Amino acid sequence: MAQLEKEINKDEAEWFKRLRTSPLGLSVTAIGLILIGVGSFSDSIDKVLVSVGLRPNALRLAEDDARGQFSRELARSAWRRLFWMRRLVLSEKANFPEAEKSETWAAYLKSLEDWNAELMVYIMTIKKYYGDAKALEFQRDVQSKFGKIHYCLEAVRHRTDVIECSVSKEKSLDKINNSIDDLNASLYCFASGLPSKNSDGC
């Protein structure tokens, strides 16, 4: 039995050896190398086009690759947190029952915890896939606005003057809601790759 296995393995080795040196084998190898080269070249060209402004620097939400998967995860996380921010403001404006306010606050804190746990990964991965300028845009136009609004929500929730709300010193819910709208526009501009012009959109 052992001798038979050795002979089979020897035959297989000879077959692969002949395949590698045959026209078919060389063609398959060449095609594989070309595909790898084209993929790397296309990715490099894509980054160059983005860097010189010839292609909109949008998140690759629809692509089924690592970059697309990351972009979708980032977008879902951002809009989930944005959703709970809106719910918090609405719960205060409409004076929801305290139990419902507490549930909304707990859901918001969960989205905040998830966001902060991945924040550094988000920044470094944006830099990897989309470049330094996109990472800077994320920190300046998205993360900084999230932070300012968060402190306002903390101040409203705990009804304290110890926590400063830079959006509105009087903690106006309307002004806080306007800031959330502005953040929503910044998120859209960031995801779409269009330049942010004002609070009304790109």
Task: Give the list of residues 6+ apart from residue 15 with CB closer than 8 angstroms, or none.
Answer: none
pLDDT in tens, 93-137: 999 999 999 999 999 999 999 999 999 999 999 999 999 999 999
Say if residue 45's pLDDT is above 80.
Answer: no
SS (H, E, C) the chain: CHHHHHHHHHHHHHHHHHHHHCHHHHHHHHHHHHHHHHHHHHHHHHHHHHHCCCCCCCCCCCCCCHHHHHHHHHHHHHHHHHHHHHHHHHHHHCCCCHHHHHHHHHHHHHHHHHHHHHHHHHHHHHHHHHCHHHHHHHHHHHHHHHHHHHHHHHHHHHCCCCCCCCCCCCCCHHHHHHHHHHHHHHHHHHHHCCCCCECCEC
Query: For residue 30, what pLDDT is reported?
Result: 41
Q: Is 158's pLDDT higher than 90?
A: yes
Per-residue confidence (pLDDT) for residue 82, from 0 to 100:
97
Please give the Cα distance from 12 to 97 (Å, whole number): 74
Model pLDDT, residue 9: 53
The token duo for 60 is: 């690759």
Q: Which residues contact 178 (CB under 8 A, 6 or more apart)?
A: 199
Residue 156 tokens read as 């409203």
Q: Mind listing the pLDDT tens digit for each residue in 61-82?
A: 777 788 889 999 999 999 999 9
pTM of this structure: 0.71
pLDDT band at 19 (very low <50, low <70, confident <90, very high): very low
Q: Which residues are paired to 198 by β-bridges?
A: 201
How does residue 57 score in pLDDT terms, banded at 50, 70 and 90?
Answer: low
